[in-house]
């Protein structure tokens, strides 16, 4: 069970799942916008707006996207971040070995 917890909290899986959910929902918004825009163009040429409900579908998809993004953030991303900080605390400002070596060389050159 401990290995599964490490696998889930590693990060890549949750990030990918959130990206797929948000990307799919955004794809619906783009598709409804495109449908509304392309439905309006033939109507503009003939002075008859045949599909007036398409903009309502676009606004509906946009509102659904915002609600879905908020739900995913508050019920997936926030708890995941708190669990990750609890079980995998960040290392305290440790400098990489190459940076520490360069700073040591800089200090030695400054003493000359």
In this structure, which long-range contacts are made by residues 2-8, counting pairs with CB atoms below 8 Å and at least 24 apart in sequence? 5/87
CA 47 – CA 70 distance, rounded (Å): 40
What pTM did the predictor assign? 0.66
Whether the pLDDT of residue 88 is over 70: the answer is yes
Band (pLDDT 50/70/90 cuts) for residue 1 is: confident
Task: Measure the N-to-C terminal CA separation of the chain; round to a whole number of Å.
Answer: 57
């Amino acid at each position: 069970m401990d290995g599964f917890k490490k696998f889930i909290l590693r990060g890549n899986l949750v990030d990918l799942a959130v990206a797929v959910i948000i990307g799919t929902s955004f794809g619906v918004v783009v598709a409804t916008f495109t449908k509304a825009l392309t439905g309006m163009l033939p109507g503009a040429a003939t002075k008859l707006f045949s599909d007036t409900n398409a903009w309502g579908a676009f606004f509906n998809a946009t509102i659904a996207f915002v609600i879905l993004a908020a739900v995913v953030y508050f019920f997936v991303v926030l708890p995941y971040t708190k669990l990750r900080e609890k079980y995998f605390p960040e290392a305290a400002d440790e400098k990489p070995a190459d940076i520490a070596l360069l700073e040591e060389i800089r200090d030695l050159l400054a003493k000359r």
